[in-house]
Chain A
Amino acid sequence: MEILVCAKRVPDTSENEIQLNGAGNDIERDDVVYSVNEPDNYAVEEALRIVDRTGGNVTVVTVGGDEDEEILRREMAMGAHQAALISDEAFEGSDGRGIATILKAFVQKGKYDLILTGVQADDAGAQVGGMLAAMLDYPFASLVNAIDVENGGLKISREIEGGSKEISAIDLPCVLSIQTGINEPRYVGMRGIRQVASREIPTFDASTLGLDGGQVGEDAAKVKRTDYFVPVAGKGAEMLEGSREEIIDRLVAMMRAKGGLN
Chain B
Amino acid sequence: MPRTFTYIVHKAGLADESAGELLAAARKIGPAQTPVALVVGYGADLDAVCESLRGTFSEIWKLSNESLAYPNAELVRQALVRVLPQGSILLVPHNHFGVDLSPGLSVKLNAAYVSDVLDIERVAGNSLTLVRQEFGGQVSTHVQCDITSGAVLNIRPGAIATHGSVQASASGVIVDQSAKVGPLTAKRRYLETLIPEAGDVDITRHAVLVSVGRGIQEKDNVSIAEDLANALGGAVSCSRPVVDAKWLEKSRQVGSSGQTVRPKVYLACGISGSFQHLAGIKGNPFMVAINKNPKAPIFRVADVGIVDDVLEFLPELTERVLEETSVAAGRSRE
A and B pair up: yes
Interface assignment of B41: CB less than 8 Å from any CB of chain A = no
Chain A nearest CB: distance from B98 CB in Å?
9
Chain A nearest CB: distance from B2 CB in Å?
14
CA distance in complex: A33, B319 (Å): 36
B306 and A240 within 8 A (CB): yes
Closest to A184 in B: B246
Interface assignment of A198: CB less than 8 Å from any CB of chain B = no
B139 and A162 within 8 A (CB): no
CA distance in complex: A169, B188 (Å): 6
CA distance in complex: A262, B332 (Å): 12
CA distance in complex: A171, B138 (Å): 38
A258 and B133 within 8 A (CB): no
Interface assignment of A79: CB less than 8 Å from any CB of chain B = no
CA distance in complex: A23, B4 (Å): 35
Which residues of B sit under 8 angstroms from A50, Cβ to Cβ? none
**Total chain A interface residues with beta-carbon distance under 8 A:** 84
B103 and A130 within 8 A (CB): yes
Annotate A92-131 by CB proximity to B: 1 below 8 A, 0 otherwise. Answer: 0000110010000000000000000000001111111111
B115 and A226 within 8 A (CB): no
B316 and A162 within 8 A (CB): no
Interface assignment of A260: CB less than 8 Å from any CB of chain B = yes
Which residues of B sit under 8 angstroms from A135, Cβ to Cβ? 107
Residues of B211-252 contacting chain A, CB below 8 A? 214, 232-234, 240-241, 243-246, 250-251
**Total chain B interface residues with beta-carbon distance under 8 A:** 99
B99 and A165 within 8 A (CB): no
Given A123-B134, A174-B188, A239-B299, A231:B253 Cβ within 8 A:
no
A141 and B100 within 8 A (CB): yes
Closest to B323 in A: A252
Interface residues, chain A, CB within 8 Å of chain B? 11, 13-14, 17-20, 27, 96-97, 100, 122-131, 133-135, 138-143, 155, 157-171, 174, 177, 180-181, 184, 222-240, 244-245, 247-248, 251-252, 254-256, 258-262
Residue with the greatest number of chain B CB neighbours at <10 A, chosen from A97, A167, A231: A231
7 more contacts with CB within 8 A, not counting A131-B104, A238-B304, A260-B208, are A17-B293, A19-B139, A223-B113, A238-B305, A244-B316, A260-B234, A260-B264
A261 and B300 within 8 A (CB): no
Which residues of B sit under 8 angstroms from A167, Cβ to Cβ? 190-194
Closest to B313 in A: A244
Interface assignment of B175: CB less than 8 Å from any CB of chain A = no
CA distance in complex: A149, B42 (Å): 31
Which residues of B sit under 8 angstroms from A240, Cβ to Cβ? 304-306
B188 and A252 within 8 A (CB): no
Interface assignment of B116: CB less than 8 Å from any CB of chain A = yes
Closest to A253 in B: B324
Interface residues, chain B, CB within 8 Å of chain A? 72-74, 77, 95-96, 99-100, 102-108, 112-116, 129, 132-146, 148-149, 186-196, 207-208, 214, 232-234, 240-241, 243-246, 250-251, 253, 256-260, 264-265, 272, 286-289, 293-295, 297, 299-308, 312-313, 316-317, 320-321, 324-325, 328
Chain A nearest CB: distance from B184 CB in Å?
13
Given A228-B139, A229-B142, A254:B304 Cβ within 8 A:
yes
Which residues of B sit under 8 angstroms from A163, Cβ to Cβ? 196, 250-251, 253, 257-259
Closest to A258 in B: B286
B143 and A224 within 8 A (CB): yes
A-B complex: 7 closest residue pairs judged by Cβ atoms: A130-B103, A260-B265, A125-B115, A237-B305, A134-B104, A181-B244, A139-B187
B99 and A227 within 8 A (CB): no
Residue with the greatest number of chain B CB neighbours at <10 A, chosen from A100, A127, A224: A127
Given A168-B189, A227-B142, A258-B264, A142:B96 Cβ within 8 A:
yes
Select which of B187, B257, B316 is within 8 A of A174 by beta carbon: B187
A-B contact pairs, 19 of them (CB 8 A): A13-B135, A130-B104, A130-B107, A131-B106, A134-B108, A141-B100, A163-B258, A165-B196, A168-B189, A171-B188, A177-B99, A184-B246, A222-B148, A223-B112, A231-B297, A238-B303, A251-B317, A254-B304, A260-B208
